[in-house]
Amino acid sequence: MIEMVLSILWSQWTWLVGVSTVLAYKWLTANQDFFEKRNVPHEKLTVLFISTIKMILRKESMFEMVKRMHLKFKDHEYYGTFEIRTPGLIIASPEMIKQITIKDFDHFLNHRVILDAEDEPLFGNTLFSLKDQKWKEMRATVSPAFTGSKMRMMFRLIDECARNACKYLKGESQNKGHIEMDLKDYFTRYTNDVVATCAFGIQINSFLEKDNEFYRMAMKATNFMGVAVFKLILFVCFHKIMKWLKVRLFDEKFSKYFHKLVTDTMQQRAEKGIIRPDMVNLLMEARKGVLQASNTGKADANEGFATAQESIINHKPVNRIWTEEELVAQCFGFFLAGFETSSILMCFCAHELMENRLVQEKLIEEIDGVRKELGNEPLTYDAIQKMKYMDMVVSETLRKWPPAVATDRICNKPYVIRGKDGGRYKLEPGDKIAIPIVGLHYDPDNFPNPDKFDPERFGEGNRSHIRPFTYLPFGVGPRNCIGSRFTLMEAKAIIFHLLSEFTLEASPQSCIPLRLATSGFELKPKGGFWLTFKPRDR
């Protein structure tokens, strides 16, 4: 009798699993003929979500996946891919990228937003996540923080952090001689201090106060591993369900910490009349309504910073009264970009200098020349801007290891893509297009021998020959990274001070040749960024 009951239950369970599997398969593959109907080249969906299965199973990094897909279809102006079951169009042609992101920008105003203000107020109100007119007004509000004059004022704060970071290493070398370490922790502490002082107006030395509260909270915010990665994937694939369940990416304690940090700083400065060249001061001015986008455009133009992309935005006086939450979010956005992205750039730059000895020697020669010119004076913004080889090295690092492997846009008006071969692809509001940054950077038609680290690509005689819209380390068009110059300044300052005192050597744990890890969303080598700092004999 018991065996009969178990047999019936087993058969029902088997039937249920079979039906569920079939339904799941039907749901996942419902769009598999989407691109075939439209005559768009794409990778065949012979296995469930084959485009991303290697990444999901940690067999391939997102970096490698985007590069692989682009090199396969680079001879086409655009091609199709799937995000689980959702079709998306990848734009491969530089001319088409220009058309979409510059000339027809009004059809592609926004990025795809995974977390909006309702999902996650701290992230959803950042400049990256804002949309349409609200984005335009916030961009105009924060733009003054990144003009040349503001960069010069903030540089002394950055240089102080860079000198503290180098001073720490010199102290360690006096006791240990050569110092072997994983660069990620070192550069993360440096960028933590830079962001703390430039965005939040607080001075921290994370090399002396290793467990300070700001650093702990920053690490918690940017640790996209384990549960955080799983939650982020769920937000991408099942946004409505996650919203209904009221799941938050950042916990409430973390959000309250950053909110209180900014508002308390604003209140203290208002009471004591403190003025400081940082983001908090800019936002306080914005709250008073004294900033106008029209003035912003004029200031940038006078300093040679205005670009054709930026001028597309209609600069009008910003009369909006920003809420406290919206202003705090801008500091948080500045923190996210400056903390993680910048430290990764520095790690890759140091690693490439370690692997490429002749490049390192040439950069040291330039640094020593600048130090001689400065004498006993501190490093200045103008001095770092004049360093041509430093710029070439950092530019090539960004070419080989761009901070974002791809960027996207969301269509907000009906639009038809017209190919040179007469092909047409119709986009409706809400459709997503993507630009494969790392694919363009590794396309040998754009950059010959792309795996080689070669700063001379950006030399005075070569830079002008780079095909337009193939080098996009900070994105493209009016929605490019507003803080790109800040990131470059921050990276160049620490590289300058480090190579003034040390040479960068391989350690037994160095990953040579560099191979990327396939876990999480973080761009890093297998085993980490290990190298040895060897004190220079000067």
CB 131 within 8 Å of CB 109: yes
Is position 198 annotated in a ligand binding site?
no
43-72 per-position pLDDT tens digit = 765 544 445 555 555 567 889 889 999 999
**What is residue 110's DSSP assignment?**
B
Side chain identity at residue 303, one-letter code: E
Give the position of tokens 């639009």.
Answer: 415
Neighbours of 352 (CB within 10 A): 20
Report pLDDT for 239.
67
Q: What is the pLDDT of residue 316?
A: 56
The answer to whether 345 touches 403, Cβ cutoff 8 Å, is yes
Place of tokens 């040179």: 420
What is the dihedral sign for C-alpha 269, 275, 281, 284?
Answer: positive
- Maximum Cα interatomic distance, the chain, rounded to a whole number of Å: 96
Could you tell me which residues come within 8 angstroms of residue 462 by beta carbon, excluding any fewer than 6 positions away?
456
Burial category of 299 from C-beta neighbours within 10 Å (exposed 0-12, middle 13-18, buried 19 and up): middle
| Calpha distance 225→223 (Å, rounded) | 6
Complete edge-to-edge strand list for the sheet that includes strand 179-182: 179-182, 530-535, 502-505
How far, in Å, CA of 196 to CA of 215, rounded?
Answer: 9
DSSP state of 483: T
Contact (CB, 8 A) for 501 and 166: yes
> Which domains does the chain show, CATH number per domain?
38-535 (1.10.630.10)
Dist CA 221 CA 262 (whole Å): 16
- d(Cα 38, Cα 20) in Å, to the nearest integer? 30
pLDDT at 405: 92
Helices (H), 223-289: 227-237, 239-244, 252-272, 279-288
How confident is the model at residue 308, as a pLDDT?
A: 38
Non-local (6+) Cβ contacts of 464 within 8 A are none
Q: In whole angstroms, give the CA distance from residue 282 to residue 104.
A: 31
What is the pLDDT at residue 505? 96
Q: How do 407-410 and 432-435 pair as beta strands?
A: antiparallel
| DSSP 8-state symbol, 443 | -
pLDDT under 70 in the chain at which residues? 1-32, 44-59, 84-85, 119, 222-239, 242, 245-246, 248-251, 286-319, 519-522, 538
Separation of alpha carbons 538 and 530, rounded Å? 25
For residues 260, 263, 268, 269, the Cα torsion angle rounded to the nearest 10 degrees is: 140
| Joined tokens for residue 519 | 């876990």
- The pLDDT assigned to 1 comes to 57
The set of residues, in sequence order, having a beta carbon less than 8 Å from that of 112 and lying 6+ positions away, is 408, 409, 410, 432
Report the distance separating Cα 306 and Cα 51, nearest Å. 39
pTM for the model stands at: 0.86
User: 350 is written with which tokens?
Assistant: 């140091």
